[in-house]
Amino acid sequence: MDKKENKVSIKETLDSNVLSRLQQKKKELKALEEQKRKQEEMRIREERKRREQSKTFEQLLDESNLDWKQFK
């Protein structure tokens, strides 16, 4: 006997109704995961913006890439 003949896929053994429910659940989980990822990105952006707004003028100058000695 060939291994290919013995091998039966899950798709072949499952009822079509069960298979469709599993596929639907997979889509729902993907959508939920995508939504969580977007919310996390938004939270990180808001946190970064809040930290930027709370910096002092001195901190902003220190982080600046410009050479302020040239402007004296």
Q: Has this prediction a pTM greater than 0.85?
A: no
Ordered DSSP codes for 2-13: -HHHH---HHHH
The pLDDT assigned to 1 comes to 44
Q: State pLDDT tens for residues 46-69.
A: 999 998 888 888 787 777 777 767
CA distance 52 to 27: 38
Q: How many structural domains is the chain composed of?
A: 1
Task: Tell me which DSSP letter residue 70 carries.
Answer: G
Give 1-50 pLDDT, tens digit per residue: 455 556 767 767 777 888 889 999 999 999 999 999 999 999 999 999 99
Give the structural domain span for 44.
3-71
pLDDT at residue 68 in the model: 63
